């Protein structure tokens, strides 16, 4: 069946104005259609499910109240923007969600004019929205800019830096979406009753009373001012909201974010005020899909075709699971071992550690900068912190890595998850910069385990070091066939093949999961009469140390092709070549991702698009050798 039959209302929405034209009786069935589309598509393609199910009514209300195209919505993190994509006319392409060349899993300015600001990392939306609102003020425009921020992203420092710069006299609207943790403590039955009053007759009554008092001679204005102060003091006591108002934001809420009528009412009131405001709403993650409602954490991000079994797989089959289990074993032997993460306990495999050692487990929220400096303080006090972050999020703390850890040579271990290219989520989640920025720092050992046993050894090795260590690994598993190719995948810093031919045309030097691709390229080269072998590095930095071992391993007349899925500029190929000057006369060639912001093209994998798949590697080696 086509979309017109499956989603009769949603299929009529080709642009945002079509949402405003819908009848009131069509809104409830539209919400059901949106949720059905989300479940069907995300279960098939993978992606973020629970968070999008929770913001259906909120997004619908925003589209009904605002003039999207002039007014803008900026989604913090952006993983909850699927509904926005559907309501802005992307239903017919939505089945390509997170596929090469398809609809992105996050807002992209290049994808639609309604994606006004690209997001993918948390806590950025308010800063960007403030920039848009200031620009409108400078131009004399009166459009609304809305930043939708979850309570998780609210833990990030950038939100509070932006709040510190808010101005009441802007058309800025902040939607604080609380769906798990409580931010305002006064949200019981009494507050709920007041919310109901505010959402019904309160606003009209307040406006009418204010208008009436303004017309009274002599006493009207003073009385209106006195009542306004009394109302504000009462509201501050009940809602504990003066923090936001002291930051320049008119506070409204809390409101049931899964009741589009209530959300529309409060949005209209906010727009009537005409000043910067914060609307506190409460939504239910996974709303409308029973499995996700019961286990929203498991359905936050689901793999393709397996949402019904989300979270049921054995956590120890991938690097994250092995890391968490191994660190727990290490903590049992050494009470100095601590684990630090930034709102990613499940994703980094630390849930078991948190349960076993709650006093030595620290989830600091969506605040990577704080996580690193906090870990530096632990290390300076004699503890041995292991900081588990995705590579893409570690970028946010580069200053802290330099200034607070490396400069003081503190024994902080960075456990860098999701290293490498990311095909589904795209450029915001590529983990391809950390090799280059760690290369610029002295006294940092960078380890790249290929086998699970090697990862476990590296965690123990880091404990023996009295300096920073970075251990990077991909989102995946070890490959038994690749492991059999090498004599010892735990050898540092170079793993050599079991057998090496007497005559070689080229060495292919790799680290991490690129070993699998390099072996495939080796076969393609052999078919063309070129004899190449693969060297696997399990340690990158110190590069001088790695080069010394390489010099003892390879013949001087055999060129080395350093292949990496990370960026070439400052990558391990360039670093090895620099360290080899005066030590190895071999020719070094670097093959890596030239465009760090690459999106997978339709019909291609991310590695093919980036030019680091087996065929591309084969072709580039042949070009250099010819």
Q: Residue 443: CB partners within 8 Å, gap ≥ 6?
A: 406, 409, 467, 468
- Which token pair is 347? 């994703």
CB atoms inside a 10 Å sphere around CB 250 = 18
Gap between the Cα atoms of 205 and 202, Å rounded? 5
Give yes or no for a contact between 266 and 175, defined as CB atoms under 8 angstroms apart: no
For the stretch 89-117, what's the b/e string if a residue is b when 16 or more beta carbons lie within 10 angstroms of its beta carbon? bbbeebebbbbbebbbbbbbeebbebbbb
> Within 13 Å of residue 211, how many CA atoms lie on the same side as its CB?
6
Please give the positions annotated as active site: 285, 368, 396
The Cα-based distances of 509 to 416, 431, 519, 532, 535 in angstroms read 21, 20, 11, 10, 5
Q: How far is CA 346 from the centre of its chain?
A: 14
- Full strand arrangement of the beta sheet holding 445-447: 361-363, 337-341, 384-390, 413-417, 469-472, 445-447
Q: Maximum CA pair distance of the chain?
A: 104
CB atoms inside a 10 Å sphere around CB 557 = 9
CB atoms inside a 10 Å sphere around CB 481 = 8
Gap between the Cα atoms of 67 and 85, Å rounded? 15
Gap between the Cα atoms of 512 and 533, Å rounded? 16
- Which token pair is 363? 């989830």
The Cα-based distances of 572 to 34, 363, 432, 546, 586 in angstroms read 46, 31, 11, 11, 16
Gap between the Cα atoms of 532 and 618, Å rounded? 10
Smallest Cα–Cα separation from 323: which of 355, 303, 345? 345
Smallest Cα–Cα separation from 128: which of 117, 136, 139? 117
Gap between the Cα atoms of 398 and 418, Å rounded? 17
Q: Residue 395: CB partners within 8 Å, gap ≥ 6?
A: 433, 434, 437
Range list of β-strands (E), 269-334 = 277-282, 301-302
Helix, strand, coil fractions of the chain, as percent rounded to 5:
45, 15, 40
- Which token pair is 379? 């290390």
Query: ∠ at Cα 58 (228, 276), nearest 5°?
Result: 35
> Within 13 Å of residue 173, how many CA atoms lie on the same side as its CB?
30
């Amino acid at each position: 069946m086509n979309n017109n039959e499956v989603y009769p209302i949603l299929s009529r929405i080709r642009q945002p104005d079509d949402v405003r034209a819908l009848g009131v009786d069509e809104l409830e069935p539209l919400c059901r259609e949106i949720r059905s589309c989300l479940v069907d598509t995300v279960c098939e393609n993978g992606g973020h499910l629970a968070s999008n199910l929770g913001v259906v009514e909120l997004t619908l209300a925003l589209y009904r109240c605002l003039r999207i195209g002039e007014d803008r919505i900026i989604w913090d993190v952006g993983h909850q923007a699927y509904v926005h994509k559907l309501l802005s006319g992307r239903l017919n392409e939505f089945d390509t969600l997170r596929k090469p060349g398809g609809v992105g899993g996050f807002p992209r300015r290049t994808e639609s004019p309604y994606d006004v600001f690209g997001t993918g990392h948390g806590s950025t939306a308010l800063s960007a929205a403030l920039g848009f609102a200031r620009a409108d003020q400078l131009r004399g425009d009166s459009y609304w800019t809305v930043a939708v921020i979850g309570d998780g992203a609210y833990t990030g420092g950038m939100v509070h830096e932006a709040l510190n710069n808010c101005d009441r006299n802007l058309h800025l609207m902040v939607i604080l979406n609380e769906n798990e943790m409580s931010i305002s403590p006064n949200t019981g039955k009494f507050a709920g009753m007041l919310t109901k009053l505010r959402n019904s007759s309160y606003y009209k009554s307040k406006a009418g009373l204010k208008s009436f008092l303004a017309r009274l001679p002599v006493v009207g204005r003073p009385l209106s001012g006195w009542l306004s102060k009394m109302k504000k003091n009462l509201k501050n006591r009940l809602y504990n909201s003066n923090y936001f108002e002291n930051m320049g934001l008119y506070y409204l809420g809390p409101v049931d974010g899964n009741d589009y009528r209530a959300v529309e009412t409060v949005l209209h009131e906010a727009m009537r005020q005409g000043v910067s405001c914060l609307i506190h709403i409460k939504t239910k993650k996974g709303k409308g899909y029973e499995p996700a409602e019961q286990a929203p954490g498991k359905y936050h991000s689901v793999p393709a075709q397996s949402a019904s079994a989300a979270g049921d797989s054995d956590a120890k089959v991938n690097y994250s699971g092995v890391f968490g289990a191994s660190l727990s074993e290490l903590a049992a032997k050494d009470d100095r071992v601590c684990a630090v993460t930034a709102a990613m306990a499940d994703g980094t495999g630390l849930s078991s550690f948190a349960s076993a050692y709650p006093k030595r487990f620290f989830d600091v929220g969506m605040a990577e900068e704080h996580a690193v400096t906090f870990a530096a303080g632990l290390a300076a006090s004699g503890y041995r912190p292991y900081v588990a972050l995705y590579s893409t999020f570690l970028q946010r703390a580069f200053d802290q890595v330099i200034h607070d850890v490396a400069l003081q040579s503190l024994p902080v271990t960075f456990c860098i998850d999701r290293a490498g290219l990311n095909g589904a989520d795209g450029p915001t989640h590529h983990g391809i910069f950390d090799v280059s920025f760690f290369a610029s720092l002295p006294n940092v050992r960078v380890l790249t385990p290929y086998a699970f046993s090697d990862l476990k050894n590296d965690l123990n090795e880091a404990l023996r070091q009295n300096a920073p260590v970075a251990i990077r690994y991909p989102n995946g598993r070890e490959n038994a066939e690749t492991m059999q190719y090498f004599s010892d995948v735990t050898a540092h810093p170079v793993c050599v093949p079991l057998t090496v031919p007497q005559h070689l045309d080229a060495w292919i030097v790799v680290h991490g999961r690129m070993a699998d691709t390099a072996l495939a390229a080796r076969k393609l080269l052999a078919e063309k009469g070129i004899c190449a072998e693969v060297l696997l590095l399990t340690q990158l930095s110190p590069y001088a140390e790695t080069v010394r071992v390489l010099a003892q391993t390879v013949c001087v007349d055999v060129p080395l092709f350093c292949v990496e899925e990370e960026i070439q500029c400052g990558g391990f190929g360039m670093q090895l070549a620099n360290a080899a000057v005066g030590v190895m006369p071999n020719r070094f060639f670097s093959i890596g991702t030239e465009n760090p912001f690459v999106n997978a093209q339709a019909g291609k994998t991310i590695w093919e698009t980036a030019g680091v798949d087996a065929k591309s590697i084969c072709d580039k080696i042949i070009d250099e050798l010819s």
